[in-house]
């Protein structure tokens, strides 16, 4: 266990210990302990970033060499490791955690211990997912995130929170069970590969790299099944179009901090899992079925966008908007070229920041007016101008205004989708990939729909004639406009939005190496696959991986 | 300095190499002085400081009422104007390379390093060449003038600092748009100005109409932006680059960024890219399908309409087409330019007809802007970027003057804009400067001979006839339509002038709350109306504009007169195009019209021969350059279309350039006379000024019934808004509700809840088996035994 | 497999039997039990006769007595099921048991036959009779002998008979076709192999024949060193001193038939014996034919050696059953709540919350 | 002919399948009658009696196959069947007595409280 591995492990263990500590200590101290643990999380994330060797950002670093054997018989080891993508998402999670704790100081008054306890317990589960290099470790953490979220929604939500919490839990849980089935199938397939093919074949081994090679050796039919099993699980988490109905319910019922972390990081588990499992594991099947997933994504974008427009509840509107936004993210992911993948990873981070911030603003408004419906609210800019500014700022960020973070990721996703698969038409801009210009054109209309519903929200809630819920007079600890604490949170989220909007190179440079590895799987230059003397290529079904062949195959 | 620019190979300008002129002179670029990068940054900084002031004011640390923000933004704008001017003077020169100033790397992604390396590079950099200097000059100049105007105009408004923050941000994004050195920067500016126009139109956010207008503007712009975005993606996918310098070099050499040849004639992108860019331009510059947002944008304060919706933002579309002109010329049959010409002409005519029937002077000015923009696009369509650009230049000045004058009137008369309720301002004390400014604006707009508007419009009209039908089909017909529209323009301009400024002194104040909602502090109650007494006119005393407004009006009036000078002054090699032509000569917007005959200044007809034999497709090489005046076009099957010299068109047999002076003047005068006849005071004496007695003539009202439903239709804007509502907004709303129902009932209700209730239903169905009667259990057991035995028996056979 | 019985006859016979039983079942007014019995007897009789005919040529006839006891068993079984008086049902059941124990005897399982009679008929069914007597005395003594409704009337007789005989049809039909799974019949010698396990039996027989006159009878446990038994060839080799051998030989030669038969039972001539025994040491004795492993032996051996654990558990089960019966059958005394309190007060237990009261007096008011 | 000799010669001859079937037939009929009795009769005790009959039928089959295969286990198992029958009888009758005492009737359909 290298000394560097300590960082990642402490990133998981300290908050976990803190959550237990919170449960034991008094109500009063719950928030302070939670705050301390989240700050430790931030410090550790920064230390990890410092130790991380950014020049070689593609390789798995800061990990344990062999990992702690959990179930030796099945080759399940608690091995950790982080590459640039995972590290950035950990930094996002670590960054959001203190803000959430700080943000819910006035929202939650009774049984703080359980609230802050579960909130702090959520962090190690999330980090576990990004850090895991072993399938079972990944899956355990992937499931563990559901429990705190369930408790947060069911005991701290608003009106019919129980139903929403159970639906959220069961929906995601069934999905991930199917995904587990698919992944275990790969492990079994790996079991009866003959050991000569590659290191780790022919035995029970759940290391992700080994399973990836095994999955790639699968014939197309089986790969298709594994693809759909994994997609069934992870698409629910992303919420991709047909399986998204749990999100609006979960969001409207979750407490402010709950929906921030749900939109901020939990949805990214799905896209991260797809990037880490679906795309590298089943290259042929992905090429075969990418068009279907892209169609779902596009339908999601336009369909959810239009639904936002008729919503009467602000939080449901923003929830549907994240379904629509993540449609772009998935589209970029399945463009299978550098711009598309960069766009989708950037999207994960940007969406976390801007939609998380939007939920914070709505939470602040909810704490004052205790209602979220458009019918009895309007023109709040009159009473809360600072809040109106931040609300406008984050709406513009999520509508994809250039200069703010939303634009860069949306632009990259769309241009990635446009040029993916366009290497057939003349001109060098095109790259290999399953999608094409028409996908981008229709998805582009999503930008218009986004403008429609977000400006509808701004027009109703922030601008327009002033209207407060009848019989409302100002009370409670919070001032009419934002309190310094709330302004602090908004500024803390606004600055990264602006910085990432103006200088995305900060992230894109480091993402080039890991994403290049994913792309090489598709364009055939995967080092493991390519070199002749690697026995792996012998065992492999000799799929001719030159781009043109794959392209014909994809567009057959 | 930006190393990308310096390591660009310094190819000899194509002029020298082949003697003939290439489609356009490719302008290679070199690093420019760093401080030029400050031009867009300064207004942005001003905006940020204003925001801080606003924030502090909200916190009570700074007084909300001071004019600080206005002067702050004014100072920064003036500074950036000076920087632009000095930058231009340093740079000024024909054929000099464009300057590229890169601030920092913005989007910079490369992949597949090694062979087949591809990259997407869009830096935060600026591209200074003739076109961008021309645009920046009048953007920053007008920006600072209008900012001065607004400092007084907006005084007393609660959101003062917010206004100027948005104002600064607007000029910053406009400069990013104009100066951006790659298409993504253009897109950044494009959406930035969209946002600022949203914020400024929606400035009076307590008024639902303003909020709706702002939303409408942003969404219609967004539709245009989608076209631009897709065009951008297609350009990148075809050429592999979005940087201007690489892009123009690629188009000049007819290859993509990596040098592999592209056969423009057969590529579908050659017409697809210009069409997509055109959609973007129409969205932003309010052309036919997407113009509906501009008239509603009048909800915003007048300085906003003056700056954004007259001079700067709406010209962004023209700038973009001018900048991307080489791409528009890729298509051998020039499909896109045909569309631009046709839609430009149609919009001009449509807007003019609507403008004639409106009563709100700001709306009339808005429609006139749409109409003049139609002219500019028509100019671009007739392959005269110089004509278009020059008309933008002059239009910016006189339209700003007109708007500001109307603003002054509205400011003075407590928000009154209806021309039926105002007249005889000329002779009112203190309104003389406004009236003179209005007059100058009107004569320019109407195109009275020897005014700047006359020359710029004349350039476009002349080109309409000069460009042969073979190149742009029916350009002659479009020319005549534009001439007719020029007449209409003259009519409605002077209709406003006569109804508002000439004639007896009579006025009714508008409702105060209409314009500047001075009191926003909490209570919604109307401003105490008694003080303004809108019922009986004698109590209400219009307060004439202050020193700032008068100063700006006079400066701009003089400016719009002086705008005629650039038509004559020219030191470039093509005297006919004037100073604007020289500016455009050294930019990507330059285009040598193939049509030619003995030029006004006698230099030989420009023959356009594809420049670079090396690149030529083999089949073309053996065909001698089309020396003769071959009628029509060489079929563009495979070779790069030969734009050989084609016979120039003519108007009524005469050379369009010379003849147009007289013909357009005639149309202009006819328009003015009709306006005088219908709306001017009775008798020739009243025609001019000062006749107080004559009541506004009722001839116009008498004529109305005879015209049948036409005026009513025109007044209702030909029901375009209603049409859009019915065909786009309503179906979308219906679809949204259907999707919502599907989502809630079908997917969530039927599928998810349905499946989750399956287990319970199944359990309920088998409950009766538990009947409690001993015998039924026994029977069950016996039946089970029997079945087992049967199965064993059957399987053992 | 050749059919053991022509399936048509089997099924028709069973059908008729079923019809008979159906009629025989008790019902309301018209109660043709006798006709039912006759029909049933006819049906089953037909099947048995068919079996017998088939058995004739296949030399598979059971012991002739089978044809006496089988019908008795079947008819009495029918009466058990169909008789309205529970007491008679029990008695008929005893008759069935007796008939079936006779069948056991026919099959050579005499231990079980008698066990059945003693334990089953003797004990269990007598208990049944007790309970029937106890439970059927009509609460109202007015109509003695009147049938309580639940006895007089069968419940869904049609379905019951159909169900029952469907099972019988399947069972017998299956076997009639000779399920391939039934392994071929074992042969008798396997049983005899048990001889090696029961040396005492052989020694007792030899003792009875006074073979060990001079020498003392070897200990049964000394098998292996003093003597060995070879069950397959039914011979026993005995280590004897030369004199004993000599004495045996003279008695054999002196035509002591019994000893001679033993000695030369396996066909060796007297001369070989002399030569072999001359050297002293051991002598081979044949096991007398009547020394056979009887049914009792096999059962005993299998019970003790084969299934010791099962035996223990059976014991435990019986103990538990007895304990259960005792607990269940205790007299229930219903006492009210207040009386419980009084009782508790007497015993000086403080009257805490009621649930404690229950636990204290729980014993009293049984479940 | 003494019972012993009766038993003796049958052993020696072994038991052909046809003969086995005779006993199986009787056992089958007994078992069928047991099922009918249990299903048709309403008197609790008679129902238990019928179960006993089914036990008995099973016993006959066991013995028949035990002799057919010359395997003593069959008989041994009958012993265990008997013990179970005895235990079952004891408990069942105790319960019947309780049930009778509770509701004064032996009718099986009186007890339907376990209705789901």
> Does the residue D72 lie in any domain?
yes
Taking CB atoms within 8 Å and a gap of at least 24, the contacts of B782-787 are: B782/C163, B782/C164, B782/C167, B782/D35, B782/D39, B783/C163, B785/C167, B786/C163, B786/C166, B786/C167, B786/C170
Mutation target among B102, B184, B190, B191 for the A interface, most CBs of A within 10 A? B191
pLDDT for B533: 39
User: What sign does the CA torsion over A355, A357, A359, A365 have?
Assistant: negative
- Region A376-389: mean pLDDT is 86
D3 found inside a domain: no
pLDDT band at B563 (very low <50, low <70, confident <90, very high): confident
Q: Give which of B413, B480, B435 is closest to B659, Cα–Cα.
A: B480
- Looking at the complex, report in whole angstroms how far the Cα of residue D40 sits from the nearest Cα belonging to chain B: 8
pLDDT at B237 over 80: yes
pLDDT given at position B28:
67
Tell me, yes or no, whether D4 lies in a domain. Answer: no
- Residue D114 with chain B: CB contacts under 8 Å: 770, 772
Residues 138-167 of A with CB under 8 A from B: 167
Among C74, C124, C171, select the one facing D85 at the smallest CB separation.
C124
* B620: number of Cβ within 10 Å: 16
Which residue of C37, C77, C88 is the best one to mutate when testing the D interface, meaning the one whose CB has the most D CBs within 10 A? Answer: C77
Q: Is residue D47 part of a domain?
A: yes
How far apart are alpha carbons A490 and A386 in whole angstroms? 10
pLDDT at A260: 92
- Residue-number span of the structural domain to which A83 is assigned: 5-469+478-555
- D21-60 per-position pLDDT tens digit: 888 889 999 999 999 988 888 888 888 889 999 999 999 9
Judged by a CB distance cut-off of 8 A, whether residue B628 touches chain D is no
State the total domains in chain A: 1
Element (H, E) at D76: helix D73-103
Whether the predicted pLDDT of B254 surpasses 90: no
Q: Find the residue in B nearest to C171 (Cα).
A: B789
Half-sphere exposure of C181 (CA within 13 A, CB side): 9
CB contact D9 to C (< 8 Å): no
Residue A534 backbone dihedrals phi, psi, to 5 degrees? -75, 120
Residue C82 scores a pLDDT above 90: no
Tell me which residue of A283, A36, A259 sits closest to A164, measured CA to CA: A259
For the segment B649-661, the average pLDDT, to the nearest whole number, is 75
- Tell how strand B422-423 and strand A76-78 pair up: unpaired
**Contact flag C170-B793 (C-beta cutoff 8 Å):** yes
Contacts of B393 (CB under 8 A, 6+ apart): B134, B138, B456, B563, B566, B580
Task: Report how far residue B441's alpha carbon sits from residue B563's, in angstroms, rounded to the nearest whole number.
Answer: 12
Q: Is A391 exposed, middle or buried (0-12, 13-18, 19+ CB in 10 A)?
A: buried
Are residues B772 and D108, on separate chains, in Cβ contact within 8 Å? no
Q: C178 with C1: CB under 8 angstroms? A: yes
Predicted local confidence at residue B21, as pLDDT: 33
- Number of domains observed in the structure of chain D: 1
Give the global pTM: 0.76
Surface-to-core class of residue B758, CB atoms within 10 Å of its CB (0-12 exposed, 13-18 middle, 19+ buried)? exposed
In the predicted structure, residue B207 carries a pLDDT above the cut 80: yes
Question: Which residues face B104 on adjacent strands?
Answer: B124
Q: Tell me: pLDDT of B599 over 60.
A: no
Determine whether the interchain pair B775/C156 forms a contact, defined as Cβ–Cβ distance below 8 Å: yes
* Yes or no: domain C7-138+148-181 corresponds to CATH 3.20.20: no
Query: Domain for residue D26, yes or no?
Result: yes
CA dist list (Å): B693 to B428, B430, B504, B598, B682? 13, 20, 5, 56, 10
Q: Which residues of D touch B768 (CB under 8 A)?
A: 116
The Cα A243–Cα A275 span in angstroms is: 19
Q: Do B782 and C167 touch (CB under 8 A)?
A: yes
- Residue in B111, B205, B229 closest to A464 by CB: B205
Query: Is residue D92 in a domain?
Result: yes
Residue B772: which of D38, D39, D112 has the nearest Cβ?
D112
Domain boundaries of chain C, sorted by first residue = 7-138+148-181, 191-286, 298-330
Task: Tell me which chain D residue has its CA closest to the CA of residue B771.
Answer: D115
User: Dmax of chain C from CA atoms?
Assistant: 100
CB-CB neighbours of C275 under 10 Å:
11
Question: What CA–CA distances, in Å, run from B407 to B138, B300, B420, B584, D46?
Answer: 20, 11, 17, 33, 110
Q: What gap in Å lies between CA C86 and CA C130, rounded to an integer?
A: 11
**pLDDT, tens only, B270-292:** 888 899 999 999 989 888 888 88
| pLDDT value of residue A532 | 39
| From A513-517, B21-25, B151-155, the region with the lowest mean pLDDT | B21-25
d(CA B219, CA B196): 13
Confidence label for C272 from pLDDT (cuts 50, 70 and 90)? low
Q: Which residues of B71-103 are buried (b: 16+ CB within 10 A; e: fewer)?
A: ebbbebbbbbbebbeebbeebeeeeebbbbbbb
Q: Could B770 and D38 be called an inter-chain contact, meaning their C-beta atoms sit closer than 8 Å?
A: no
> C157 vs chain B: nearest CA distance in angstroms?
12
Alpha-carbon torsion, ordered D80, D83, D88, D89, to 10 deg: 140
Kindly indicate the confidence band of residue A531, based on its pLDDT and cuts at 50, 70 and 90.
very low
Q: Rank B246-255, B574-583, B729-738 by mean pLDDT and report only the highest.
A: B729-738
Residue D21: which domain range?
15-106
Confirm or reject contact between C1 and chain B (CB < 8 A): no
- Predicted local confidence at residue C307, as pLDDT: 87
Q: Do C181 and B796 touch (CB under 8 A)?
A: yes
Tokens of A304: 């959810």
- Is it the case that chain A and chain C have 3 or more CB pairs lying under 8 Å apart? no
Q: How far is C261 from chain D (nearest CA, A)?
A: 22
Residue B405 DSSP SS3 = helix
Q: CATH no. for residue D25?
A: 1.10.287.3510
* HSE value, Cβ hemisphere, 13 Å, CA-based, for A174: 10
Mean pLDDT taken over chain C? 78
Give me the helices (H) in B324-470, please.
Answer: 325-330, 335-357, 361-381, 385-412, 432-446, 452-466
CB pairs under 8 A between C and D: 306
Residue A180's pLDDT is what? 93
CA distance A218 to A229: 15
Query: Is C174–B785 a contact, with Cβ atoms under 8 angstroms apart?
Result: no
Report how far residue B635's alpha carbon sits from residue B642's, in angstroms, rounded to the nearest whole number: 9
Q: Do C3 and C179 meet the contact criterion of CB atoms below 8 Å apart?
A: no
Rounded CA-CA distance A283/A520 in Å is 11
Q: How far apart are CA A544 and CA B6, in angstroms?
A: 43
Tell me the backbone φ, ψ of residue B509, rounded to 5 degrees.
Answer: -70, 145
Residue B526 pLDDT exceeds 50: no
Quick one: pLDDT at residue B512? 60
Token pair for residue C367? 């479940």
Among the partner-chain residues D7, D70, D87, the one whose CB lies closest to the CB of C317 is: D87
B770 touches chain D (CB under 8 A): yes
Structure confidence at residue A121 (pLDDT): 93
> B touches which chains (3+ CB pairs under 8 A)?
A, C, D
* 3-class DSSP state of B376: helix
CA gap C188, A71 in Å, rounded: 56
Dihedral of the alpha carbons of C238, C242, C244, C246, in degrees to the nearest 10: 110
pLDDT at A91: 94
Instruction: Check whether A536 has a pLDDT greater than 90.
Output: no
* Of B418, B421, B193, B409, the residue nearest B302 (C-alpha): B409
């Amino acid at each position: 266990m290298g000394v560097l591995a300590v960082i990642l492990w402490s990133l998981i263990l300290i908050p976990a210990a803190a959550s237990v500590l919170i449960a034991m200590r008094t109500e009063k101290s719950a928030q302070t302990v939670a705050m301390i643990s989240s700050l430790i999380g931030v410090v550790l994330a920064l230390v990890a970033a410092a130790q991380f060797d950014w020049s070689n950002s593609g390789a798995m670093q800061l990990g344990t060499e062999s990992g702690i054997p959990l179930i030796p018989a099945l080759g399940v080891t608690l091995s950790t490791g982080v590459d640039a993508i995972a590290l950035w998402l950990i930094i996002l999670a670590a960054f959001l955690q203190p803000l959430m704790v700080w943000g819910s100081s006035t929202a939650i008054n009774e049984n703080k211990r359980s609230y802050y306890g579960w909130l702090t317990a959520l962090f190690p589960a999330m980090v576990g997912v990004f850090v895991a290099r072993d399938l079972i470790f990944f899956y355990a953490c992937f499931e563990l995130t559901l429990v705190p979220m369930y408790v947060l929604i069911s005991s701290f939500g608003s009106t019919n929170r129980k139903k929403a919490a159970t639906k959220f839990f069961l929906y995601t849980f069934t999905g991930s069970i199917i995904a587990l089935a698919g992944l275990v199938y790969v492990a079994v397939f790996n079991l009866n590969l003959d050991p000569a093919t590659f290191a780790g074949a022919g035995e029970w081994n759940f290391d992700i790299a080994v399973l990836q090679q095994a999955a790639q050796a699968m014939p197309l039919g089986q790969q298709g099944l594994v693809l759909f099993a994994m997609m069934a699980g992870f698409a629910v988490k992303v919420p991709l179009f047909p399986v998204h109905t749990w999100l609006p319910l979960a969001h409207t019922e979750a407490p402010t901090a709950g929906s921030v972390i749900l939109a901020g990081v939990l949805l990214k588990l799905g896209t991260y899992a797809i990037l880490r499992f679906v795309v590298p594991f089943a290259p042929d099947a992905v090429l075969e079925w990418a068009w279907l997933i892209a169609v779902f994504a596009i339908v999601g974008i336009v369909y959810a966008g239009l639904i936002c427009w008729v919503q009467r509840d602000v939080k449901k509107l923003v929830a549907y908007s994240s379904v629509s936004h993540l449609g772009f993210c998935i589209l970029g992911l399945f463009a299978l070229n550098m711009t598309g993948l960069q766009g989708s990873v950037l999207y994960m981070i940007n969406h976390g920041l801007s939609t998380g911030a939007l939920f914070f603003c709505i939470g602040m408004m909810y704490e004052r007016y205790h209602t979220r419906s458009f019918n009895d609210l309007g023109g709040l800019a009159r009473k809360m101008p600072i809040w109106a500014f931040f609300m406008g700022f984050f709406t513009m960020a999520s509508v994809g205004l250039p200069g703010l973070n939303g634009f860069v990721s949306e632009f990259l996703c769309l241009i990635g989708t446009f040029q993916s698969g366009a290497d057939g038409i003349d001109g060098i801009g095109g790259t290999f990939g399953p999608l094409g210009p028409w996908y981008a054109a229709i998805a582009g209309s999503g930008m218009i729909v986004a403008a429609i519903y977000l400006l509808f929200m701004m027009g109703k809630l922030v601008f327009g004639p002033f209207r407060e819920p009848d019989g409302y007079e100002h009370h409670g600890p919070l001032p009419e406009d934002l309190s310094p604490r709330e302004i602090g949170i908004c500024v803390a989220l606004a600055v990264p939005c602006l910085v990432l909007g103006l200088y995305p190179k900060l992230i894109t440079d480091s993402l080039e190496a890991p994403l290049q590895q994913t792309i090489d799987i598709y364009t055939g230059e995967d080092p493991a696959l390519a070199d002749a003397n690697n026995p792996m290529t012998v065992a492999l079904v000799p799929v001719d991986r030159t781009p043109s062949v794959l392209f014909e195959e994809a567009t057959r | 300095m930006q190393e990308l620019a310096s390591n660009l190979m310094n190819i000899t300008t194509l002029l020298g190499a082949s003697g003939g002129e290439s489609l356009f002179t490719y302008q290679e670029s070199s690093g420019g002085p760093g401080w030029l990068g400050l031009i867009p940054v300064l207004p942005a900084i001003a905006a940020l400081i204003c925001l801080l002031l606003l924030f502090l004011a909200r916190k009570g640390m700074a007084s909300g009422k001071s004019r600080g923000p206005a002067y702050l933004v004014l100072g920064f704008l003036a500074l950036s104007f000076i920087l632009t001017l000095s930058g231009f003077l340093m740079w000024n020169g024909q054929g000099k390379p464009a300057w590229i100033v890169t601030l920092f790397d913005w989007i910079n992604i490369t992949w597949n390093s090694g062979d087949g390396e591809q990259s997407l590079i869009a830096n935060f950099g600026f591209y200074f060449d003739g076109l961008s200097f021309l645009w920046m000059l009048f953007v920053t100049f007008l920006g600072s003038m209008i900012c001065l105007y607004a400092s007084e105009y907006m005084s007393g408004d609660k959101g003062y600092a917010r206004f100027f923050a948005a104002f600064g941000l607007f000029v910053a994004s406009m400069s990013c748009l104009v100066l951006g050195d790659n298409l993504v920067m253009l897109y950044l500016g494009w959406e930035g100005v969209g946002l600022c126009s949203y914020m400024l139109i929606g400035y009076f956010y307590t008024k639902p109409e303003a909020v709706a207008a702002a939303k409408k503007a942003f969404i219609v712009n967004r539709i245009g932006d989608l076209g631009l975005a897709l065009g951008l993606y297609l350009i990148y996918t075809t050429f592999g680059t979005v940087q201007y310098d690489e892009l123009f070099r690629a188009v000049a050499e007819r290859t993509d960024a990596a040098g592999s040849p592209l056969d423009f004639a057969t590529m579908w992108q050659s017409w697809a890219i210009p069409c997509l860019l055109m959609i973007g331009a129409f969205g932003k510059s309010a052309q036919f399908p997407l113009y509906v947002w501009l008239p509603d944008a009048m909800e915003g304060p007048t300085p906003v309409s003056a700056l954004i919706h007259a001079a700067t933002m709406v010209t962004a579309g023209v700038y973009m087409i001018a900048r991307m002109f080489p791409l528009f010329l890729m298509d051998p049959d020039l499909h896109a330019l045909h569309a631009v010409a046709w839609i430009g002409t149609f919009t001009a005519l449509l807007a003019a007809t609507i403008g004639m029937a409106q009563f709100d002077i700001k709306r009339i000015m808005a429609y006139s802007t749409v109409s003049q923009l139609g002219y500019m696009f028509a100019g671009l369509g007739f392959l005269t970027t110089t004509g278009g650009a020059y008309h933008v230049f002059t239009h910016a000045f006189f339209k700003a003057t007109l708007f500001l004058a109307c603003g002054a009137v509205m400011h003075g008369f407590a928000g009154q804009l209806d021309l039926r309720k105002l007249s005889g301002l000329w002779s009112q004390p203190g309104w003389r400067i406004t009236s003179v400014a209005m007059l100058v604006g009107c004569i320019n707009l109407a195109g009275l001979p020897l005014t700047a508007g006359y020359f710029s419009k004349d350039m476009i009209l002349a080109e309409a006839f000069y460009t042969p039908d073979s190149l742009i089909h029916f350009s002659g017909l479009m020319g005549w339509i534009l001439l007719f529209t020029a007449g209409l323009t003259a009519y409605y301009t002077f209709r406003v002038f006569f109804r508002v400024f000439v004639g007896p002194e009579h006025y009714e104040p508008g409702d105060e709350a209409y314009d500047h909602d001075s009191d926003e502090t909490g209570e919604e109650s109307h401003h105490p109306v008694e003080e303004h007494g809108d019922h009986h006119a004698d109590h209400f005393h219009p307060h004439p504009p202050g020193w700032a407004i008068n100063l700006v009006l006079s400066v701009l009036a003089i400016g719009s007169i002086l705008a005629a000078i650039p038509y004559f002054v020219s030191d470039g090699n093509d005297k006919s195009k004037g100073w604007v032509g020289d500016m455009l000569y050294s930019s990507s917007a330059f285009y040598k019209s193939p049509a030619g005959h003995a030029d006004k200044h006698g230099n030989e007809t420009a023959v356009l021969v594809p420049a670079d034999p090396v690149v030529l497709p083999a089949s073309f090489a053996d065909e001698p350059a089309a020396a003769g005046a071959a009628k029509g076009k060489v079929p563009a099957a495979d070779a790069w279309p030969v734009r050989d010299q084609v016979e120039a068109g003519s108007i009524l047999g005469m050379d369009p350039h010379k003849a147009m002076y007289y013909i357009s003047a005639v149309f202009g005068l006819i328009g003015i006379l009709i306006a005088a006849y219908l709306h001017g005071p009775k008798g020739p004496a009243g025609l001019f000024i000062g006749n107080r007695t004559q009541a506004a003539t009722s001839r116009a009202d008498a004529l109305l019934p005879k015209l049948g439903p036409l005026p009513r239709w025109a007044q209702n804007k030909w029901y375009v808004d209603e049409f859009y509502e019915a065909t786009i907004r309503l179906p979308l709303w219906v679809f949204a509700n259907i999707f919502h129902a599907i989502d809630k009932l079908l997917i969530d209700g039927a599928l998810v809840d349905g499946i989750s209730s399956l287990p319970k239903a199944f359990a309920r169905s088998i409950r009766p088996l538990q009947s409690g009667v001993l015998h039924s259990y026994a029977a069950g057991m016996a039946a089970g035994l029997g079945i087992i035995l049967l199965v064993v028996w059957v399987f053992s056979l | 497999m050749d059919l053991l019985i022509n399936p048509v006859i089997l099924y028709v016979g069973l059908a008729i039997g079923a019809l008979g039983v159906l009629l025989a079942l008790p019902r309301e007014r018209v109660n043709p039990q006798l006709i039912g019995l006759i029909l049933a007897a006819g049906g089953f009789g037909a099947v048995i006769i068919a079996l017998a005919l088939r058995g004739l040529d296949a030399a598979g006839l059971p012991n002739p007595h089978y044809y006496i006891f089988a019908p008795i068993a079947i008819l009495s079984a029918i009466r058990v099921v169909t008789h309205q008086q529970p007491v008679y049902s029990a008695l008929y059941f005893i008759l069935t048991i007796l008939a079936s124990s006779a069948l056991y005897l026919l099959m050579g399982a005499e231990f079980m036959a008698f066990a059945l009679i003693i334990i089953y008929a003797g004990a269990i069914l007598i208990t049944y009779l007790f309970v029937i007597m106890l439970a059927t005395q009509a609460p109202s003594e007015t109509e003695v002998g009147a049938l309580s409704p639940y006895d007089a009337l069968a419940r869904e007789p049609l379905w019951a008979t159909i169900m029952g005989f469907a099972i019988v049809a399947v069972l017998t039909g299956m076997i009639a076709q000779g399920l391939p799974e039934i392994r071929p019949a074992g042969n008798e010698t396997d049983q005899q192999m048990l001889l090696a396990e029961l040396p005492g039996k052989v020694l007792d027989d030899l003792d009875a024949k006074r073979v060990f006159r001079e020498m003392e009878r070897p200990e049964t446990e000394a098998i292996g060193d003093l003597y060995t038994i070879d069950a397959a060839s039914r011979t026993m080799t005995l280590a004897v001193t030369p004199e004993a051998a000599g004495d045996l030989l003279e008695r054999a030669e002196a035509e002591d038939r019994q000893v001679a038969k033993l000695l030369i039972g396996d066909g060796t001539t007297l001369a070989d014996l002399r030569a072999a025994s001359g050297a002293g040491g051991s002598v081979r004795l044949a096991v007398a034919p009547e020394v056979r492993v009887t049914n009792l032996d096999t059962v005993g051996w299998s019970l003790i050696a084969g299934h010791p654990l099962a035996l223990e558990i059976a014991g435990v089960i019986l103990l538990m059953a007895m304990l259960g019966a005792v607990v269940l059958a205790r007299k229930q005394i219903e006492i009210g709540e207040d009386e419980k309190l009084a009782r508790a007060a007497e015993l000086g237990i403080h009257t805490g919350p009621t649930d404690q009261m229950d636990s204290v007096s729980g014993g009293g008011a049984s479940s | 002919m003494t019972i012993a000799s009766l038993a003796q010669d049958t052993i020696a001859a072994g038991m052909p399948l046809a003969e086995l079937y005779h006993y199986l037939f009787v056992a089958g009929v007994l078992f069928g009658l047991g099922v009918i009795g249990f299903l048709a009769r309403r008197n609790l005790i008679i129902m238990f009696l019928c179960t006993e009959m089914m036990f008995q039928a099973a016993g006959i089959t066991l013995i028949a196959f035990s002799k057919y295969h010359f395997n003593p286990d069959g008989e041994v198992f009958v012993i265990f069947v008997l013990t179970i029958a005895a235990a079952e009888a004891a408990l069942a009758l105790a319960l019947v007595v309780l049930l009778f005492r509770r509701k004064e009737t032996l009718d099986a359909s009186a007890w339907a409280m376990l209705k789901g």
